[in-house]
Chains A and B, each alone.
Chain A
Amino acid sequence: MADAGEHPPLSPARGEPGPGASFGAGLRAAAPIMIGYAPVAIAFGAAGQAAGLGAPEVIATSAVVYSGASQFLMLTALGSGTALPAVAALCIALNLRHLLYGPLVMARLPAAAAVRFLYAFSLTDEVFASTLARSGGGTLPARWLLGLGAGAYGAWVAGTALGVFVGDALAREAPAAAAATGFALPALFLALAWLNVTRATVAPMLAAAAASVPFAVVGRSGLALLAGGLAGVVVAWAQRRFFRKRRASPQGAGEGRTRP
């Protein structure tokens, strides 16, 4: 799914829904997310179809998993014969960032457990960003939150169904175009990687990519992802340790330099 940073933060006065904000207002607030989700969901539907999954299975994946990166990971890993427990573990690892979202928005949600648990199902990167952008001070209305989540979810599942239909029609009518849908998955991961690059993540991400390539060459997808994740965490740890040392001893940081 798209980068959470693409939605500009709204000032509370302009963007925060009032206490009586309706389900429909939540749906309208989801419109930018829906527009962003549609092409990726269509690409997933077409890629699932191209991978040999049936229409009900592809649509059920979007309806039940509802996580773009996990779903594409699932297609890649299951398609190459990775064992289900390993795929599930990789999906959990990929989604660990979600653990951060709940604590950040919790104070703004209604206290009712049912609302929180329903909202949690829809807590994608983009729904989190939209909720946070509307967090001015008070509790957000339950109906508005559920409308926001339902709009994003509906767009994702409907887009997947459309992708399945389009993918099937393409395979019959235009095989060249159908072959192009196979490009959707690498393009999506390239895009997600691009959007995740920061000064802090670039070295771990390069290490992860380098560590996974040898396993990818021999077709071991599960090992490639495990090696990549491990390499990234180790390099990030080394990076933090190195920079902390530099901050702790600024004199040492300039050693070896011949000029200021």
Chain B
Amino acid sequence: MSLILAIVVIGLATYLTRVLPFLLGRHARHLSAWMGPEGPFAALGPSLIAALAALTWTPLGARALEGEAAAPLLTALAATVAMLAWRRDAGLAVVAGVVVYAVVALF
């Protein structure tokens, strides 16, 4: 299956989650019961994000344990966490991590 088709399918699926309440009208309040803070799927989004974090950090951690690019990784991790603690902004945290990684990797 082509990548363009994948993009279209995932785009439609994403739009569906955004537009469904408007299509359902007043029946949309039932969605809140399932997805709200007391609903059974309230933790699904944060859990998937945590799983994604673990998924992307596992190979980096394994390579760092073998000594490959450990210094840039650890300093970039520290910079990312420091920026998060300071500004609570995902964009700035990513930029800080990438910039520090690049600078340390150069030396």
A binds B: yes
Q: A243 CB to closest chain B CB, in angstroms? A: 11
Closest to A222 in B: B55
A70-B12 Cα distance, complex, nearest whole Å: 12
From residue 177 to 232 of chain A, which have CB atoms closer than 8 A to chain B?
177, 179-181, 183-197, 200-201, 204-213, 216-217, 221, 224-225, 227-229, 231-232
Closest to A70 in B: B14
Q: Are A84 and B51 in touch, CB under 8 angstroms?
A: no
B-facing mask of A122-147, CB < 8 A → 1, else 0? 01000000000000000000000000
Range, interface on chain A: 35 or more
Is A23 an interface position by the 8 A CB rule? no
Q: Are A117 and B19 in touch, CB under 8 angstroms?
A: yes
Is A65 an interface position by the 8 A CB rule? yes
Q: Assuming the A-B contacts A2-B91, A3-B90, are A186 and B53 also in contact, with contact meaning beta carbons closer than 8 angstroms in the complex?
A: yes
Which of A38, A64, A121, A186 neighbours the largest number of chain B CB atoms within 10 Å of its CB? A186
10 contacts between A and B (CB under 8 A): A39-B92, A95-B14, A98-B17, A99-B34, A100-B36, A106-B22, A188-B90, A192-B52, A196-B49, A231-B47
Q: Are A185 and B56 in touch, CB under 8 angstroms?
A: yes
Q: Are A190 and B57 in touch, CB under 8 angstroms?
A: yes
A195-B93 Cα distance, complex, nearest whole Å: 11
Report whether over half of chain A's contact residues are helix, strand or loop; otherwise say mixed: helix
Is B37 an interface position by the 8 A CB rule? yes
Q: Are B13 and A92 in touch, CB under 8 angstroms?
A: yes
From residue 10 to 60 of chain B, which have CB atoms closer than 8 A to chain A?
10-11, 13-22, 28-29, 31-32, 34-38, 40-60
Closest to A94 in B: B48
Range, interface on chain B: 35 or more
Q: Are A99 and B20 in touch, CB under 8 angstroms?
A: yes
Closest to B93 in A: A191
| B84: contacting residue among A72, A194, A209, CB under 8 A | A194
A237-B36 Cα distance, complex, nearest whole Å: 13
Q: A198 CB to closest chain B CB, in angstroms? A: 8
| A184: contacting residue among B11, B19, B77, B98, CB under 8 A | B98
| A207: contacting residue among B9, B29, B47, CB under 8 A | B47
Report whether over half of chain B's contact residues are helix, strand or loop; otherwise say mixed: helix
A242-B40 Cα distance, complex, nearest whole Å: 14
Q: A51 CB to closest chain B CB, in angstroms? A: 11
Q: Are A209 and B51 in touch, CB under 8 angstroms?
A: yes
Q: Are A3 and B3 in touch, CB under 8 angstroms?
A: no
| A61: contacting residue among B7, B47, B76, CB under 8 A | B7
Q: Are A190 and B53 in touch, CB under 8 angstroms?
A: yes
Q: A208 CB to closest chain B CB, in angstroms? A: 4
Q: Which residues of B contact A213 (CB under 8 A)?
A: 54, 58
Q: A219 CB to closest chain B CB, in angstroms? A: 8
Is A165 an interface position by the 8 A CB rule? no
Q: A74 CB to closest chain B CB, in angstroms? A: 6
